[in-house]
Amino acid sequence: MSRENLDDLKRREEEKRERAWDPLQRWRVLQETIAWAESQATVRRNTPARCLELERVKLARLASQ
């Protein structure tokens, strides 16, 4: 299959999927997805406090060598 045929197939399939959604259903699912994402725990590994803590540990190791 050529690239143009694949692009056309992809576009047709996306259009078919879009037509299957009821606007109210789409809105409800979008809201549920946003609520789920907001309820997930924040990753804490790259906070400024954690970076400073790692820097202190590294500096302490260098000072003890």
pLDDT band per the 50, 70, 90 thresholds, residue 4: confident
pLDDT the model gives residue 54: 93
* pLDDT at residue number 61: 95
Reported as a pLDDT band with limits 50, 70 and 90, residue 16 is very high
pLDDT tens, residue by residue, 30-63: 999 999 999 987 777 788 988 999 999 999 999 9
Exposed e or buried b for every residue in 19-33, given b needs 16+ CB within 10 A? eeeeeeeeeeeeeee
Range of the domain at 24: 3-64
The pLDDT of residue 36 is: 95
Number of domains in the chain: 1
User: What CA dihedral angle connects 21, 23, 24 and 29, to 10 degrees?
Assistant: 60
